[in-house]
Structure 1
């Protein structure tokens, strides 16, 4: 990854040193074997191939890894350690340092999952540079002990930072805060309802185009063609008209498309950014440079902002992100008695997905599948039979 800190073309570090008396008993080595063998002349990639490799990693992951490794390199410079290739003990010492250092922006401890990501970033950079990957067993043991200390201290950093699930009743309260006579209100309603119906990740949702939707021949709804980013494949998701018009993703989406057509937008991104005055796809600049998708397509972060604002207006406590729609779909489907296999295939989870199983376990906490619920039901039946006698 070209964005990572490089040691190429950098001057040699100057370190303090002192002369010490020589030892005449030490042997003189006249012919030393090189520590690093000659490089394979074919072990290189042209720039376009290197970019193709980088494109195979999600942008969010690349950004996180770049940040993690840059910070590691800075720490190594301050400590007088080598960052490329890094020694295993350097990685261990750095991770240990992070467990005792609050995050600069929040002042809160690093989460164990973030430290796992730091270790992965360091290993990835070494692999990408074809350097020996440092031993990270010690660093991982540091994370294991750190996770347990946080858990025993009941620190919030020990718990996964999950988005709250936007179930149907919660979703209803959120969309009721929207003015669906406005373009912004129609966009926000369609985004939340369609995201819930398709169980999308934020990046999948904002990637939808108007052309991604194909009306059903029998008038039952439409098919949304989604690119499932984790599975790296396309999926056609059937979206039905909802019995509850207020929560209907099909009606909400068609309302948005009609409003966009009046603005002259008939192809391209379904979900567009707007400014405070309701203008579509306004140009954005930062420090004199144009930023943002030139087509006006919203970002996944902007989609999360929409969900968060709607939930705040509805007075819903919790951590609300665009991923809340995906998690809420699982809860809603389980409450309706949908099988886990059907939920997984509709939402683009791989068979046996640990993430989906975790969502199901949460959704089933107070369902009839809970062993305690079944024990209670068996006890009620026994008491009923006893009373009859």
Structure 2
């Protein structure tokens, strides 16, 4: 049980929490990327299970692992929490503390808190006060740093590694042609894995100078203003983004595909699309997770020692690393890859390069 004291039930003086309409909830949910929503649903399911185990909500509203929570981010269970506890900031703070006691990564805890805050708004309860919860998380971060625990970051996938990986692909097969294009174009765009998976054939425009790619929506462009990225020809045929994409488009055309999703699923028989009852997008589009799988699988095939440290984000970080080594400034790198001006994440990647190539001790005469 918990030491938190339930509040009085709803009364004329304290009405039940207002629940948004189904259409409002639908638009609120779709304001977030699908991958973010999936993560939030998992986070909220775990939060509600924790609350249920402590008697904070009725047992029949406690979610199980056997089925997904409902479309309203389990609004019924969350409304029950609101009925019983009113303002949930103390509950959220205790949950953050619980996750810290379990040794969860700070980023994992931060996302779990965000999921609870979104559900709080979805239940019509307005903004969740998270100041105390964030103070607990801040202390946990400091304790983790003092204990020598560091944040795990994706290893940058640099050009020499990319060439070694591409060399392992069998481009006589459809999967090999696709995977090469995913790796090379993803690197050339400095793209997030969701941006790679979200590309359509119509987003590509070939020019005399190379390739113009339209990124219709991204993590830092939730208003879907879109951006264009110019990709020039490469000097190596196997890692030239323009030629590898042309080869993939030609392979798609041979299978009668000339529109729709650019990168598509390929089954174990080498066929495009997906099984009639399989999971995934109806148009056969790959997911961001597939991009990560392609990166790690190909790194393992290339016998790279640190293959397990690679992820879908390694393409993006590798682009930033190599662009900086080539002498490009942070603003130009950021606008090509879709980082916001002044992005601290990009600044960290650039500092990783600069502290070696422009080290303050160079030339001091030690």
Q: Same fold (TM over 0.5)?
A: yes
1:36 and 2:27 are equivalent in the alignment: no
Q: How does 1:1-389 map to 2 (within 5 A)?
A: 34-36=12-14, 46-81=21-56, 83-84=81-82, 85=86, 87-101=88-102, 109-131=103-125, 133-155=127-149, 159-216=150-207, 219-230=208-219, 231-232=221-222, 233-283=225-275, 285=277, 290-316=278-304, 317-318=306-307, 319-368=309-358, 370-372=359-361, 376-379=362-365
Superposed CA deviations along residues 303-324 of structure 1, whole A, max 9, x for unmatched, are: 1101110111112214222211
| Change in 2 beyond 3 A, CA 1:279/1:257 | same
Partner-residue secondary structure (3-state), 1:365: helix
Q: Is the 8 A contact 2:117 2:128 kept in 1?
A: yes
1:141-186 CA-to-partner distances (Å, cap 9, x unmatched) read: 322222222222223xxx3332211111111111111112221111
CA distance, structure 2, for counterparts of residue 326 and residue 119 of structure 1: 27
Counterpart-to-counterpart distance in 2, 1:327 and 1:178: 22
Tell me, in whole angstroms, the C-alpha distance in 1 between the residues paired with 2:352 and 2:153.
12
**Alpha carbons 1:245, 1:251 under 8 Å: kept:** yes
**Distance in 1 between the 2:134 and 2:28 partners?**
27
CA distance in structure 1 between the partners assigned to 2:132 and 2:22 by the alignment: 35
Rounded to whole Å, the distance in 1 between the matches of 2:297 and 2:236 is: 23
**What is the TM-score when the length of structure 1 is the normalising length?**
0.78
Q: C-alpha displacement at 1:297, in angstroms?
A: 0.8
Are residues 302 and 56 of structure 1, via their aligned partners in 2, closer, same or farther at CA, if it must alter by over 3 Å?
same
Does the aligned pair in 1 maintain the 2:193–2:288 contact within 8 Å? yes
Q: TM-score, normalised by structure 2?
A: 0.82
| 1:111-153: CA deviation from partner (whole Å, max 9, x where unpaired) | 0111112222222221221226554333223222222222222
By how many angstroms is 1:38 displaced? 8.3
Are the aligned partners of 1:284 and 1:292 in contact in 2 as well (CA < 8 Å)? no
CA separation in 2, counterparts of 1:343 and 1:303? 22
Q: Secondary structure at the match of 1:193?
A: helix
Q: Deviations over 1:215-268 (max 9, x none)?
A: 11xx22121111241223211111111112231111111111111211222222
Q: CA deviation at 1:346?
A: 0.9
3-state secondary structure, aligned to 2:140: helix
Q: Distance in 1 between matches of 2:36 and 2:356?
A: 35
- Alpha-carbon RMSD across the aligned residues, in angstroms, is 2.3
Aligned residue in 2 for 1:18: none
2: CA distance between counterparts of 1:284 and 1:202? 25
- Cα distance, 1:65 vs structure 2: 2.0
Cα displacement string for residues 334-353 of structure 1 (whole angstroms, at most 9, x for unaligned residues): 01001111111111111111
Separation in 1 of the partners of 2:239 and 2:133?
A: 48
Contact kept, 8 Å, 2:20 with 2:124, in 1: the verdict is no
Q: What 5-or-longer segments of structure 2 have no aligned partner?
A: 1-10, 58-80
Q: Distance in 2 between matches of 1:300 and 1:270?
A: 13
Unaligned 5+ segments in structure 1 are 1-32, 102-108, 381-389
